[in-house]
Chains A and B, each alone.
Chain A
Amino acid sequence: MTLVGWILMGISWGVILGLFVLCLVKVFRTQKANIRAPLEIETDD
């Protein structure tokens, strides 16, 4: 495999694994015991 191939594979795997793990951590941290009020969001458009 070429160096560029390794880099593309590394970036792809890294991005997907990073996103997956980040989401899982957030899901397990934000248990529904801590229900929040609906977010106030800006509606400037």
Chain B
Amino acid sequence: MPEQKAVRRRENWGSRLGVILAVSGSAVGLGNFLRFPVKAAQNGGGAFMIPYFLAFLLVGIPLAWIEWTLGRYGGKHSHGSAPGIYHRVTGGRSWAKYVGAISIFVPLVISFYYVYVESWTLAFSLFSLTGQIPEAAAAGNMTAFLNGFLGIEKNQYFSGPWTALAIFALVFVLNYTFIYRGVAMGIEKLNKVAMPILLFCGVILAIRVLTLGTPDSVNHPEWNVTSGLGFMWNPNWADLLKARVWIEAAGQIFFTLSVGMGAILAYASYLRHRDDVVLSSLTSCSANEFCEVILGGSIGLVAAAIFYGAAQAQTIAQSGAFSLGFITMPMIFGHMGGGTVMGFLWFFLLFLAGITSCVSLIQPAVAFLEDELGLNRQSAVTLLGAVGFCITLFVVLTLAYGSLDEMDFWAGTMFPVVSATIEIIIFAYFLGVRKGFEEMHHGADMKVPKLYRHVIRYITPIYLITILVVWGYQEWISVVFMRNISDPIQFRFVLITRILLLLIFGTLILLIVKANRRGRFPALKGKGL
């Protein structure tokens, strides 16, 4: 079938800084401030940084370069999502476009629940200003406050999930409005405003925590900034002998850089073909690391160790990232001078990190509908918004029965690793490292060290396959076979969630078949780039 001739003119980014901020905004999410400190504290403290930096160099940076390169190449051929890009770079292999469905499925499904979590952060930033959170924190009722807000229980703070639903609706519309306005006018403008404010909030919070001194010098003179930093950074070298620590470090790098999610592919597809990808990609990665290690590593758990001591901070770390962010942090701000403002800055920072990530998660599906099915942007966003609202409503109403966790397992944990593994295999073994590097260096403002040819060909795929095998064996099997669920009602809702996910994936496959019939994936006779 002949390739469709009348391909609409695709949008471009307005400026280089705009695309760098947008990709940084995509990468900097809640995990930078909540997941990283928890993972570091649980896995050897300062010693964790050794496997973390190795994974950054051997997995994170190469994957980011590959995604930027493939994305820009796809944009040149009017493809902004993985099905079209994989079809092109594999020389038209029939399976490639269907495999690409994973890179639309992953970000789309994450966006369905991420937007809800994002709305909590906006709500909590407002509750910080109105005094509701400081009051609940002072009474030691933050768990009840959070559960009441989410509708898990009725209490003195909330009589149902209505406040959460109203703020969710507002945040949902806000997210889709930015996407509706387009790449340059919506997403780029959002990131140009949100990212500097996010950095400002992060720097203010980090400075506040690092200048706390010894808050309780009478009863606990040993609880101070130095011991707080020590909690994060003192190395436990014995942990380096545990395979789990190395896998956790690679996993953290993988998730924090948003690789394997399809978002970078979509964003890079709006570059011009002469635009640099090597330096821009490295800049986005380093901006993300600045937010994660320097800001994220200096706020949450450091403050917890300063106010509650190292032993209690370890318990907080064990209770997980959400508990740290939404329960412990408000209590910490309650002890802090200027705590109301700091609480607002904390949750507003999380909100900005959330919204800039969330729009990047929706964009791959929008690009797919526009590029492959010929919908205009407004129709594509409206359609996705309608479907997304219904599915997110399902998540909101079934939160207590594990639907969010189930979606997060498949789309937020397992499939991104699968997706990135497929991506690097396609780049290294179907496209070929030599051709791939030629494409990568087109218009490049810096040269990728030759060593990375070998890294991309051997080390990164091995790293990713190891993560897949180890996590698959240690953690995923019990979840896949639902061995971790004993409650029959939860079992039913998890099953319904799985059927929903299958329907989403099946619909994507059908849409790829439809795009194929429209001539969007023509025969290429084995010619890649």
On A, residues with C-beta under 8 Å from B are 1-2, 4-6, 8-9, 12-13, 15-17, 19-20, 23-24, 26-27, 30, 32, 35-36, 38-39, 41-43, 45
| Chain B residues with CB under 8 A of A19 | 282, 286, 289
Q: Which one, A2, A4, A43, contacts B438 given CB within 8 A?
A: A43
Give complex CA distance A32, B287 in Å: 21
| Chain B residues with CB under 8 A of A45 | 433-434, 453
On B, residues with C-beta under 8 Å from A are 16-17, 20, 45-47, 49, 53, 226-227, 229-230, 232-235, 274-276, 279-280, 282-283, 286-287, 289-290, 293-294, 433-434, 437-438, 441-447, 450, 453
Contact B234 A2 (CB under 8 A): yes
25 CB-based A-B contacts, threshold 8 Å: A1-B227, A4-B46, A4-B234, A5-B233, A8-B47, A12-B49, A12-B53, A16-B289, A16-B293, A17-B290, A17-B294, A19-B286, A19-B289, A20-B290, A23-B286, A27-B280, A27-B283, A30-B445, A35-B443, A38-B441, A39-B444, A41-B437, A41-B447, A43-B438, A45-B434
**7 new A-B contacts at CB < 8 Å, known A19-B282, A32-B275:** A5-B45, A5-B229, A5-B235, A13-B293, A16-B293, A16-B294, A23-B282
Count A-B pairs with CB separation below 8 Å: 95
Contact A24 B434 (CB under 8 A): no
| Chain B residues with CB under 8 A of A43 | 434, 437-438
Contact A9 B290 (CB under 8 A): no
B333 CB, nearest partner CB in chain A, Å:
24
Contact A32 B234 (CB under 8 A): no
Main secondary structure of the interface of A (DSSP, over half): helix
Give complex CA distance A36, B442 in Å: 10
A38 and B283 in contact (CB under 8 A), knowing A5-B230, A16-B293, A30-B276?
no
Contact A6 B233 (CB under 8 A): yes
| Chain A residues with CB under 8 A of B47 | 8
Give complex CA distance A43, B153 in Å: 64
B203 CB, nearest partner CB in chain A, Å:
13
B473 CB, nearest partner CB in chain A, Å:
31
Contact A41 B229 (CB under 8 A): no
B440 CB, nearest partner CB in chain A, Å:
9
Q: Which one, A4, A8, A15, A39, contacts B441 given CB within 8 A?
A: A39
Q: Which one, A2, A15, A20, A32, contacts B53 given CB within 8 A?
A: A15
| Chain A residues with CB under 8 A of B17 | 27
Q: Which one, A13, A16, A26, contacts B445 given CB within 8 A?
A: A26
| Chain B residues with CB under 8 A of A8 | 46-47, 49, 233, 235
Contact B286 A13 (CB under 8 A): no
| Chain A residues with CB under 8 A of B276 | 30
From B442, which residue of chain A is reached at the shortest CB distance?
A38
Give complex CA distance A39, B448 in Å: 11
Give complex CA distance A5, B237 in Å: 11
Give complex CA distance A20, B285 in Å: 8
Give complex CA distance A23, B23 in Å: 15
